[in-house]
Amino acid sequence: MKENNQQDILDSLQSKEYEYGFTSDIESTMLPVGLSEDIVRAISARKDEPEWLTEYRLKAYRHFLTLSVPTWAHLDIPPIDFQKIIYYAEPKLKKPLGSMDEVDPELKRTFDKLGIPLEEQMALAGVAVDAVLDSVSVKTTFRETLAQKGIIFCSISEAVREHPELVRKYLGSVVSYADNFYAALNAAVFSDGSFCYIPKGVRCPMELSTYFRINARGTGQFERTLIVADEGAYVSYLEGCTAPQRDENQLHAAVVEIVVERDAEVKYSTVQNWYPGDKEGRGGVYNFVTKRGICHENARLSWTQVETGSAITWKYPSCVLAGDNAVGEFYSVAMTNNYQQADTGTKMIHLGRNTRSRIVSKGISAGQSQNAYRGLVKIAPKAENARNYSQCDSLLIGDKCGAHTFPHIDCRNRTAMLEHEATTSKISEEQLFYCNQRGISTEDAVGLIVNGYAREVLAKLPMEFAVEAQKLLAISLEGSVG
């Protein structure tokens, strides 16, 4: 972004301020296209945010102006005009469909394959759910159970209003707005997201899923998630769902921050199945995500992700192992088909003594896709007896795709033991022949073999999620063989 261009745009927007009158017109559902300080202020005003948060956004925005788009990833990203994006829109309410018969048959077929219960299918497809499922009461019961334990689980906007002291303490404490281009953008314009706080010593009795969170849908392109597990707390958090998610917003830049206090444990599981574009590589979501957690003494953070969607994935869920004996884990299956591109991995930053980390990454590339693992394992001078084990495997399906591994090891303590291994393989003719001979179709055989290959990671997912993820892998591969 050239400085003078930027200034021109800012000037032109400022000169039009009164024309649009967006400072007073808080009733409109959309802000004008483009990005400026006024837009940032307007987003904050629209959400009735306190001054400190407006200032935080502005600081982030000013910093964003000094940054340029990162180009180091193994991705071919078409130029994105950040002034052509609408940075704030109220959740668009589509007209609910009358019944399941009105749902796109292709979508319905996928739901059936995934084995999603009818009620959920309707909810996901946008059928008026109240008729079949009393969602309000489900959510209310859910919230009551959590409230009894003192657990806060709400949208981040709500948290800003209801628990400003917690948000102010932790927001930006793990992922600074200065962290990278997309994190700065997110900090300036984040629309909404989830907030979760587990008090000291509390074990969250259920898996927290974004699916159950009120206003979970329509959080927009710039989602912000903040999870805090106070001392000795435990929570398992599920993001996304296995059903295909279509979104008209092409650019997504989310930030997830996790604070794992002393003796606490957080499991964060993601199934990402955004629209990947069509078979010719047209359309699809660009997903630039910054996810990071900090682990204090004896804390444990485990990231598990199944990435099958998006045209472009740029995502490195990371762990800062700040306290002694902290443990960080990263389990990932990233599948790309057709023209998808993924550059994903993790960073394990060992600062404390006896810190341990484990990385298991399984890449699957098919079609014309490019799939890269990128990782950093860093051992600081004071991280005595740190241990890391990394295993990064790639499976290639077809001869037009690419599989890449870019690990970076930086070790500054002599007592550390680090081990990285990577292999590349393909599904062999012999394996397919063997399955065929036993009466299994090639497509099913590929599904079987791929699931076997990804098993170590899938096993880390909560049970029902794992079953769906398995089916999802098979579906995402459709048409990639034979």
Partner 1 sequence: MTIAEYIASEAIESFKGGVVDSSTDTSHPLVVLNPKSFKMELQQGIKAQLVIACTSSVTASVEVSLAEGVVLDIVELYAADSIVKVTVHQAESSALSTFSALLSSSHVSYTHALEGRGATNRFNALFVATGAEHQTIELNTRHLVPDCSSNSLIKGIAAGRATGEFRGLVYVAPDAQRTDAQQQNRNIQLDNAQIVALPQLEIYADDVRCSHGSTVGYEDAEVLYYMRQRGIDAATARRLQVEGFVQEVVMRCNMEPLCGIVREAVSDKMSQI
Residues that bind partner 1 (CB under 8 A): 74, 379, 381, 394, 396-426
Helices (H), 86-191: 105-114, 118-125, 135-148, 156-162, 164-170, 181-189
Q: Which residues contact 386 (CB under 8 A, 6 or more apart)?
A: 321, 350, 353, 354, 355, 356, 357, 379, 413, 415, 416, 417, 418
The least distance separating partner 1 from the CB of residue 343, rounded to whole angstroms, comes to: 12
In this complex, which beta carbon is closest to partner 1, that of residue 300 or of residue 404? 404
Q: Which residues contact 42 (CB under 8 A, 6 or more apart)?
A: 22, 23, 31, 88
What gap in Å lies between CA 384 and CA 415, rounded to an integer? 6
Tokens of 205: 């009795």
In this complex, which beta carbon is closest to partner 1, that of residue 105 or of residue 482? 482
The least distance separating partner 1 from the CB of residue 332, rounded to whole angstroms, comes to: 16
Q: Which residues contact 244 (CB under 8 A, 6 or more apart)?
A: 107, 110, 273, 275, 309
* Segment (H or E) for 39: helix 37-46
Strand pairing class (356-366; 417-426): unpaired
The least distance separating partner 1 from the CB of residue 66, rounded to whole angstroms, comes to: 28
The least distance separating partner 1 from the CB of residue 53, rounded to whole angstroms, comes to: 40
The least distance separating partner 1 from the CB of residue 390, rounded to whole angstroms, comes to: 9
The least distance separating partner 1 from the CB of residue 224, rounded to whole angstroms, comes to: 32
Residue 211: DSSP 8-state: G
Strand pairing class (327-336; 312-315): unpaired
Residue 336: Cβ within 10 Å count: 31
In this complex, which beta carbon is closest to partner 1, that of residue 244 or of residue 363? 363
Closest CA to 246 of 470, 75, 94, 78: 94
CA distances from 328 to 145, 174, 208, 300 (A): 29, 15, 20, 6
In this complex, which beta carbon is closest to partner 1, that of residue 221 or of residue 480? 480
The least distance separating partner 1 from the CB of residue 183, rounded to whole angstroms, comes to: 24
In this complex, which beta carbon is closest to partner 1, that of residue 189 or of residue 364? 364
Tokens of 308: 């099958």
The least distance separating partner 1 from the CB of residue 165, rounded to whole angstroms, comes to: 41
The least distance separating partner 1 from the CB of residue 284, rounded to whole angstroms, comes to: 22
In this complex, which beta carbon is closest to partner 1, that of residue 20 or of residue 389? 389
The least distance separating partner 1 from the CB of residue 291, rounded to whole angstroms, comes to: 23
In this complex, which beta carbon is closest to partner 1, that of residue 77 or of residue 103? 77
Q: Is the dihedral of CA 459, 465, 471, 477 positive or negative?
A: negative
Helices 429-437 and 442-453 meet at what angle, rounded to 10?
A: 120
In this complex, which beta carbon is closest to partner 1, that of residue 284 or of residue 375? 375
Q: Which residues contact 286 (CB under 8 A, 6 or more apart)?
A: 77, 80, 250, 251, 252, 310, 311, 312, 314
The dihedrals phi and psi of 280, each to the nearest 5 degrees, come to -95, 5
In this complex, which beta carbon is closest to partner 1, that of residue 66 or of residue 425? 425
In this complex, which beta carbon is closest to partner 1, that of residue 424 or of residue 451? 424
